[in-house]
């Protein structure tokens, strides 16, 4: 996402410890047929990344405050949710992952692991947080390093992927994968005992394996659950990436920049053997190349794109050597996206759905198994506003074109013209064991869920 830190509420407000079901959204939402959206908790401080622990408690990063936990209150006569504080740490920015009794969070500088007790939803205060990966590059104004645990075939944790964004909107240093900017790195954990025993020394960002670069702000990434044709020894990853803003670049009119470039859903394939040099990591274009969303956004001011197609690569004209044909030439290892998203919609997270073993009425239908769900924080520099919702992407994603969008919103702010205002700004996503999708909404301070709801014939 591209939200500026100045928009976030950093002061912790006194939040309730219980919220009854039935609270209205701060601003109304539109929900697709067959689904229903319900508020879980309100008045939170900038909720960001979310994840479930082994006890099925929902944990949420409250950016600049810490981590809080949410679970059903079964004792109360009024049905609702309990909220407790798991840890306070003003440095937490976005990323959260839980594995047994290890709780991982990202800050601007490092990935911390806390000793965590799912039974009490608390961290072990006698064990200080441990910087398992240090030296992360500062991401400029919004240091939101996304993290994702990598597991092996039996579910054992083997390592972690960590994302980094650009230093500034157009970060020329990011062309070089050794810069550490605008990319995803992989860290293998040494063989460690389960639970709370940490590796003897921290891992360092500089030693991480670059799995993909030229991803301007890889805000969300996840391993697909559906079948792929990737050979053994390599792994698939899908990445929701935020494109650069081009309205201040020479060569693009404001009208063209209002409709371009597309945000991206990228398919990354990386080598599992970290010391292998083949294949070399591929660039996804940033900062020199970008993806067309609306080639005809300004047929008068920028007519050279009329006749090209959504998803085509074009040059941001930062150097003479890199023109549109360079960006489109596969020999230059610039990989176009698997799917293009509406320009300025700001994808924030992606999760793949696996139908629960025991089906229930509220679960997403098993027909959606292996499909992707992407949160869109929403636009800050487009008229009219776009995003502000959560979309369903059938798997595998189909080629983008002007006539097929390739995704559809299942929940979206109803009053788009008032956004951001008090609209939902969907950010973190997590599926519960109940097959419902939980969503954090950073600027409205809400956690909500999306569930199946039978379509009642009219």
Residue 20: what are its φ and ψ, rounded to 5°? -70, 150
Residue whose CB is less far from ligand NAG, 88 or 248: 88
Contact flag: residue 157 with ligand NAG (CB under 6 A): yes
Distance, in Å, from the CA atom of 39 to the CA atom of 44, rounded to the nearest integer, reads 12
* Candidate ranges 136-144, 296-304, 325-333, 419-427; the one touching ligand NAG (CB under 6 A): 325-333
Chain position whose Cβ is nearest to ligand NAG:
156
Residue whose CB is less far from ligand NAG, 14 or 456: 14
DSSP letter (8 states) at residue 199:
P
Cα separations in angstroms, 398 against 245, 268, 405, 406: 25, 16, 9, 6
First to last CA, the chain: 39
CB 14, min distance to ligand NAG, A = 9
CB 135, min distance to ligand NAG, A = 12
Distance, in Å, from the CA atom of 86 to the CA atom of 165, rounded to the nearest integer, reads 27
Contact flag: residue 404 with ligand NAG (CB under 6 A): no
Residue of 120, 273, 319, 329 that binds ligand NAG (CB under 6 A):
329
How crowded is residue 386: how many other Cβ atoms within 10 Å of its Cβ?
Answer: 19
Residue of 5, 8, 23, 434 that binds ligand NAG (CB under 6 A):
23
Residue whose CB is less far from ligand NAG, 120 or 325: 325
Which residues in the 30-69 window bind ligand NAG by CB under 6 A? 42-43
Distance, in Å, from the CA atom of 25 to the CA atom of 378, rounded to the nearest integer, reads 17
**Residues contacting ligand NAG: total by CB under 6 A:** 16
Cα separations in angstroms, 8 against 1, 312, 425, 442, 446: 13, 34, 12, 8, 13
Taking residues 277 to 316 in sequence order and writing x for each that binds ligand NAG by CB under 6 A, - otherwise, the string is ----------------------------------------
Contact flag: residue 158 with ligand NAG (CB under 6 A): yes
Contact flag: residue 91 with ligand NAG (CB under 6 A): yes
Residue whose CB is less far from ligand NAG, 312 or 349: 312
Taking residues 123 to 152 in sequence order and writing x for each that binds ligand NAG by CB under 6 A, - otherwise, the string is -----------------------------x
CA 361, 365, 369, 371 torsion-angle sign: negative
Contact 60, 47 (CB under 8 A): yes
Residue of 89, 169, 225, 399 that binds ligand NAG (CB under 6 A):
89
CA 367 to chain centre: 23
- Residue 278, C-beta contacts closer than 8 angstroms, at least 6 positions apart: 271
Binding site for ligand NAG (CB under 6 A): 16, 19, 23, 42-43, 89, 91, 152-154, 156-158, 325, 329, 331
């Amino acid at each position: 996402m591209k939200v500026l830190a100045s928009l976030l509420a950093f002061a912790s407000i006194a939040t309730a410890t219980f919220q009854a079901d039935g609270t209205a959204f701060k601003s109304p939402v539109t929900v697709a047929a067959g689904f229903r959206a319900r508020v879980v908790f309100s008045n939170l401080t900038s909720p960001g990344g979310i994840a479930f622990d082994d006890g099925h408690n929902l944990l949420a990063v409250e950016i600049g405050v810490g981590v809080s936990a949410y679970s059903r209150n079964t004792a109360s006569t009024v049905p609702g949710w309990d909220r407790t504080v798991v840890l306070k740490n003003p440095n937490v920015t976005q990323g959260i992952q839980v594995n047994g009794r290890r709780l991982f969070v990202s800050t601007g500088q490092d990935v911390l692991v806390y000793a965590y007790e799912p039974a009490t939803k608390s961290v072990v205060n006698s064990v200080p947080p441990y910087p398992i990966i240090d030296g992360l590059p500062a991401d400029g104004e919004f240091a939101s390093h996304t993290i994702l645990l990598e597991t092996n075939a039996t579910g054992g944790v083997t390592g972690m992927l960590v994302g980094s964004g650009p230093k500034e909107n157009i970060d020329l240093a990011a062309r070089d994968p050794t810069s550490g900017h605008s990319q995803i790195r992989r860290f293998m954990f040494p063989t460690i005992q389960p639970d709370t025993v940490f590796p003897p020394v921290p891992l360092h960002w500089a030693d991480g394996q670059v799995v993909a670069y030229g991803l301007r702000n890889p805000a969300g990434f996840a391993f697909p659950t559906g079948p792929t044709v990737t050979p053994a020894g390599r792994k698939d990853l899908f990445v929701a990436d935020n494109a650069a803003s081009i309205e201040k670049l020479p060569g693009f009119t404001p009208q063209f920049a209002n409709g371009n470039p597309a945000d991206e859903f990228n398919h990354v394939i990386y080598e599992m053997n970290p010391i292998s040099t083949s294949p070399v990591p591929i660039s996804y274009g940033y900062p020199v190349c970008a993806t067309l969303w609306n080639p005809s956004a300004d047929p008068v001011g920028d007519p050279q794109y009329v006749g090209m197609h959504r998803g085509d690569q074009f040059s941001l004209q930062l150097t003479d050597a890199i023109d549109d044909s360079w960006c489109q030439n596969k020999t230059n290892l610039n990989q176009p996206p698997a799917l293009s998203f509406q320009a300025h919609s700001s994808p924030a997270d992606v999760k793949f759905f696996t139908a629960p073993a025991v089906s229930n009425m509220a679960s997403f239908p098993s027909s959606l198994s292996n499909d992707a769900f992407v949160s869109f924080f929403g636009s800050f520099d487009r008229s009219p506003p776009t995003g502000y919702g959560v979309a369903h992407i059938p798997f595998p994603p189909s080629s983008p074109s002007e006539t097929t969008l390739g995704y559809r919103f299942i929940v979206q702010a109803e009053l788009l013209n008032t956004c951001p205002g008090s609209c939902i700004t969907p950010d973190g996503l997590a599926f519960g064991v109940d097959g419902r999708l939980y969503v954090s909404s950073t600027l409205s301070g809400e956690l909500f869920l999306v569930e199946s709801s039978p379509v009642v014939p009219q």
